Amino acid sequence: MKSINVISSFNDVKEDYLPEDQSETYLEDSFVLDVVQSVKHQGATNPDALDYIIKMEKIHKKFVCGEITSNDEKEYFKEINRSFRNKYSIWLHETSECILFYNLLNGSEVLSL
């Protein structure tokens, strides 16, 4: 059985976190919302992008907790990204909201354009 790590504060981030790179770590729901609030305070203009990030983090949590398979997670991520791109003509990971979310979370630049 794998060891599950839960990130519930900035102090819990010990290495760069991106959901697709972390098979044993997920973000606590309340912490995701805290980071979202920080992104909003820094001037995020597309709240829909933040909703998509929240959705992806919830899916990732299901994968880490064994509720869905890795393949299911990948398919859900593809579907979410396609849906966002179809709606906004930009990939989610290219939005300032997504870049800011993961860079704030990690305390360093893990995403950029």
Tens of pLDDT along 20-52?
Answer: 999 999 999 999 999 999 999 998 889 999 999
Q: What is the mean pLDDT of residues 48-65?
A: 97
Q: What is the pTM of this model?
A: 0.92
Average pLDDT (73-87) is 97
Distance (Å, whole) CA 1 – CA 53: 28
Q: Cβ distance 65 to 26 under 8 Å?
A: yes
- Per-residue pLDDT, averaged over 78-84, amounts to 97
Token pair, residue 99, equals 């870049």
- Mean pLDDT, the chain, rounded, equals 93
